[in-house]
Chain A
């Protein structure tokens, strides 16, 4: 399977309005000022506490990040006299700032809001505590900026293991997924799977917003899995634990017969265990994938049946005098 030429998309910036749209409910956000700048770009997934900048130290001011104002900053500003505050803010506003975000329903002084209104720098207020705001914002931004791709495959949650089923068109990916759904597992996406890296070492499969949980089954046509099988048989995202490639039975090919050799495939820089399974009439692919998933779970729990079996075998053969 060739994953090298998958087109990788990665956002270079997001607009403050997008953050508003997706985090409004989570952070109970309200816009207080600077509405005209709501489409300002955010280039970094990190945040900044501008305490030092308000204090007048502007070297290394991380101005391109979302600026979080908590109790410290707000109360410090209140302590300054108007002339000093206005001068400090002026210097700070000579930098491009995407937005200010206040925690704990904090309200800055009018002079601050006026400046933001004049310059079109959005000021958002959240009801949550500062640490909560920071961790949720960073999580959201990191995800927004993570690389993504789209792959022609099928993603199923099988016994809690996200399986990405790949293979040439017509090999039976959709049919296999259908049988897995029939057996109680869940469909994430068929045919068009969006893959997103999460943190450094997780790969998510996501449902395509347009096709949702529709599937094309040759001979039947387009079906809606959610309508046919119910809401319990679908989900919108799942971490991928296993990649299974279905391929036409090939007499000459060497398939893993012991499970002692572990193969991996790298997608978006994440290494995922990989199995190649030959397809032939009469071989029930769904059951094979179920077993592969369960076996994967065992390995994750620290058990490796193939290794352990071989160990036992070696012990029977050689006792404690195993040649080295």
Chain B
């Protein structure tokens, strides 16, 4: 791995009622695109790139799903922080 590059991994729980459908997926993509880091979501052995709406949708993550979130890159910590914020806020949904 390149110098100054980090990798952080955390487990986050989907908290909004409808789970990760198109709108939350779009919100996630928009947020993580701001970072250079690669961001991956893992669920049930599937790993998708969090910078892809379609990828996120294939996870079919419902409320209560626990995702393993990996951020890799120089701004991995910041990216993870932003992703966490989204999860806690229920992606801006109820």
Give chain A's interface residues, CB within 8 Å of chain B: 7, 9, 150, 152, 169-170, 190-192, 208, 210-211, 214-216, 222
- CB B5 to nearest CB in A, in angstroms, measures 13
Residues of A within 8 A of B60 (CB): 210
Residues of A within 8 A of B48 (CB): 150, 152, 192
Given A192-B55, A210-B57, A216-B54, verify A152-B45 contact (CB < 8 Å): no
Residues of B within 8 A of A192 (CB): 48, 52, 54-55, 58
Assembly CA distance A169 to B46 (angstroms)? 19
Given A210-B58, A210-B60, A211-B58, verify A191-B53 contact (CB < 8 Å): yes
Instruction: Tell whether, in the assembled complex, residue B53 and residue A216 are in contact, meaning their CB atoms are under 8 Å apart.
Output: yes
Assembly CA distance A319 to B42 (angstroms)? 61
Instruction: Tell whether, in the assembled complex, residue A152 and residue B52 are in contact, meaning their CB atoms are under 8 Å apart.
Output: yes
Other A-B contacts than A169-B52, A192-B58, A214-B54, 11 sampled, CB-CB below 8 A, are A7-B47, A152-B48, A152-B55, A170-B51, A191-B52, A191-B53, A192-B52, A208-B54, A210-B57, A211-B54, A216-B52
Q: Specify which of B46, B58, B60 lies most central, judged by the most chain A CB atoms within 10 Å of its CB.
A: B58
Residues of B within 8 A of A214 (CB): 54
Residue contacts A-B, CB under 8 angstroms, 12 given: A7-B46, A7-B47, A9-B45, A150-B46, A150-B47, A150-B58, A152-B48, A152-B55, A169-B51, A191-B52, A210-B58, A216-B52
Contact residue among B22, B33, B45, B54 (Cβ-Cβ distance under 8 Å from A191): B54
Say yes or no: is B49 at the interface (Cβ < 8 Å to chain A).
Answer: yes
Dominant SS at the B interface? mixed
Assembly CA distance A306 to B53 (angstroms)? 40
Contact residue among B22, B33, B49 (Cβ-Cβ distance under 8 Å from A152): B49
Residues of B within 8 A of A210 (CB): 57-58, 60
Assembly CA distance A27 to B8 (angstroms)? 50
Assembly CA distance A152 to B53 (angstroms)? 11
Residues of B within 8 A of A170 (CB): 33, 51
Residues of A within 8 A of B52 (CB): 152, 169, 191-192, 216
Name which residue of chain A comes closest to B55, CB basis. A192
Assembly CA distance A210 to B48 (angstroms)? 14
- CB B61 to nearest CB in A, in angstroms, measures 12
Assembly CA distance A190 to B60 (angstroms)? 17
Assembly CA distance A314 to B22 (angstroms)? 58
Name which residue of chain A comes closest to B32, CB basis. A169
Assembly CA distance A7 to B44 (angstroms)? 12
- CB B23 to nearest CB in A, in angstroms, measures 11
- CB A294 to nearest CB in B, in angstroms, measures 29
- CB B2 to nearest CB in A, in angstroms, measures 12
- CB B39 to nearest CB in A, in angstroms, measures 10
Q: Specify which of B45, B49, B51, B54 lies most central, judged by the most chain A CB atoms within 10 Å of its CB.
A: B54
Assembly CA distance A283 to B14 (angstroms)? 41
Assembly CA distance A150 to B60 (angstroms)? 15
Contact residue among B33, B51, B54 (Cβ-Cβ distance under 8 Å from A190): B54
Name which residue of chain B comes closest to A189, CB basis. B54
Residues of A within 8 A of B33 (CB): 169-170
Assembly CA distance A170 to B34 (angstroms)? 12
Contact residue among A9, A169, A222 (Cβ-Cβ distance under 8 Å from B49): A169
Residues of B within 8 A of A190 (CB): 54
Residues of B within 8 A of A216 (CB): 52-54
